[in-house]
Amino acid sequence: MIFFIAIVILMIGIYAYQFLIDDTFLPRIVFLYVIVPLRGIGIWGAFVFFGLMVLQSIIAPIPSEMVLFAGGLIWGLAGGSIIGYIGSMISAIIGYYIAKRGGKPLAVNSLGQKTVDSLEYYVTKYGFVLVMGMRMIPMVPYDLFTLASGFTQMKMKSYIISTGIGTITRVIFYAWLGIVVGGDIDTLILTYQNNPAGFLQLFESSQYMQSFNLILGIIIGVVIIGFFVFYILVFPYMKRHYEKQKKRRKGNKMLENEIVALVDEITKNKKNEGKETNK
């Protein structure tokens, strides 16, 4: 729980610094320490990218969407989609394994026992469709359902297939977004390599930086809205529906027990009547 709170505080601090103090901070970090180095090391950049995807899924305060977006900037539509897909699948499998090993206590501490019970009920019953749908729609947070998939009864094979199908549209979308909004990325890289003194001035007015901040703002906004929608509307509904189903199952079980007891009593009475008749 302390680790989770620390990550949230770190995220708030980074985003506050980005949007209130220095709007070049995150675009500059991604450009200097992700895009330029990964382009420079060729095929080995893909393996570093996979590592970033895994790191992001566990602790990093930058949304996975921004990493996939960077993949489009680095390798284009086809390369960004393929490498982004592989990286997403690797991080998804590792996330599932971590959740299976110890994700439920974290979820209970963060969401409460009743919410986790209802989430477990839904993912157990509709897990394939839920995981695929949440992965398929760009900018929709899916981490909660990845966590739930790990500590519920959803089998890993089903999880991998649903994740694999749902991830296709997401990675293609962000790779495409990367090549559309990063039109001047090659100019920025050449300027950074050949004219470091003039790089910062060009960077601040570049299409890349403006687009990066716009996309980051939209993603954060969608995540925040999604957070409140889930906590105010979805989770309460899930808990109410789960409690109704729980009461209904309990009532059905009681009725079943009563029927069984009644049948046993009738059978017993018939046996007694048969014994008296034989006498």
**Distance, CA of 226 to CA of 217 (rounded, Å):** 14
pLDDT of 41 reads 86
> What angle do helix axes 196-204 and 185-194 make, rounded to 10 degrees?
150
Nearest Cα to Cα of residue 180 among 146, 222, 208: 208
**Distance, CA of 64 to CA of 49 (rounded, Å):** 11
Please give the single-letter amino acid code of residue 14: I
Token pair, residue 25, equals 């901070």
Residues near 168 by Cβ (< 8 Å), separated by ≥ 6? 85, 136
CA distances from 248 to 118, 202, 239, 251 (A): 15, 65, 14, 5
Show the CA angle centred on residue 82, arms to residues 148 and 141, nearest 5°: 30
pLDDT of 81 reads 93
* H or E, element range at 40: helix 36-40
Nearest Cα to Cα of residue 154 among 104, 85, 196: 104
Please give the single-letter amino acid code of residue 192: Y
Nearest Cα to Cα of residue 209 among 179, 188, 192, 190: 188
Residue with tokens 């199952």: 249
Token pair, residue 100, equals 């299976």
Q: How far is CA 9 from the centre of its chain?
A: 19
Q: How far is CA 228 from the centre of its chain?
A: 16
Sign of CA dihedral 42, 88, 82, 77: negative
pTM for the model stands at 0.74
Q: Which residues of the chain have pLDDT under 70?
A: 1-5, 7-8, 58-63, 102-104, 106-112, 139-141, 143-145, 153, 246, 249-279
CA atoms within 13 A on the CB side of 185: 26
